[in-house]
Structure 1
Amino acid sequence: MNPAGPESDTESSLMEHLLELRTRLLRALAGLVVVLLALLPFANKLYAWLAQPLLDKLPAGGQLIAVQVASPFFTPIKLAFFVALVVTAPWLLYQAWAFVAPGLYQREKKLALPLLASAVILFYAGCAFAYFVVLPSVFGFLAAIKPDGVAMMTDINAYLDFVLVIFLAFGASFQLPVALVILVLLGWVTPEQLKAGRGYAIVGIFVLAALITPPDVISQLLLAIPMCLLYEAGILASKLVAPRPADTAPSP
């Protein structure tokens, strides 16, 4: 028997995994680049669409300005890259899934696919809620409390950074049901414990909302209230996937 046999098999298996990882990464990158190139001709239109919630609330004389010389060029491109990243999220997650799926059990595969799909849908829902509800409310509130004699002229790059933070905050916060389901599947908590800790969770949600949103009550409430509802949705979903006593009982 050749003593180098098992070691050679291990090295061969490692090389196959590395080659598969490289293939998946290249496919993910290719998809992102293709979508980005398709969006670049519409970068200025995308920015005009993104700026509309602010422009609709600006008082007479208010406008967006470019403080830096290259901002009118780089800022729309930055937005196009972010949009391409969001649009290709299902493709990127699929490549990650295709890489790790062969090493999962059948039950894990059945649970992972709905969780991944739910995470993507909830992220999109969070971004849509931020654009159509949160941003108009926040900008309307800020324009209403503007001191007299102060003209609202926001830098286009600063505005983009502000909006992207809002999108990421709401998109990530809307993942709460998925996070709760994962915690239950891992056995770290039970649906009953989540239900019993509802009061602490609500306090934590309001504290988190105060930390990651702009310093105004409107945006904090618009984040905290949906998260409280999503917490309840997470409890309901966790009850459906919680391991049954028969599943966790030791076999004779």
Structure 2
Amino acid sequence: MAKFFGNLHLVLAAGLVLALLVIFAVPANTIAEQAILRWLHLFFGITWIGLLYYFNFVQIPTMPKVPAELKPGVSKFIAPSALFFFRWAAALTVLTGVVIAWRAAYLVEALIFKPGFVLIGIGMWLALIMAFNVWFVIWPNQKKALGLVPAEDAVKAKAATTAMIFSRTNTLLSLAMLYCMINFNGG
């Protein structure tokens, strides 16, 4: 049992098989393609926001307490790996969300806040801002702060502060975004 659960890829594959069995054995109130897209959107969204909250609730507040000799374990191994999943989960959350809205024919209505689509429109815009922050502010600055790209110490410190501010901005935005996403009733 420990060998099975010790292999993340095997656990994920088994979880995918189980999910597909549920998807096809117990049909949702919508067509399978929509159900699968919504499921993927939720999975990627949980991964994205879960990592956002990990960084803000655990890693950022804990790093000042970590002894200097142990910090490279986080900055060289844990943070780069977490940031990989963080940024790709953000991209895939946005991509699946756009596909869902496009397939359900409310993408434009939501983005321009047409009546009946205001709530989801706000959620979508907040998510787009957050994804922009991930890819174009947080990630470039984290690469400097973590030493993944060459930078002087002063530049690294400024980059770490910028990444933290935009990460906290995303945490702030995520609360309203989540409310909008879960309370949209389809127009």
| TM-score, with length taken from structure 1 | 0.30
| TM-score, L = length of structure 2 | 0.38
Q: Which structure: larger Rg?
A: 1
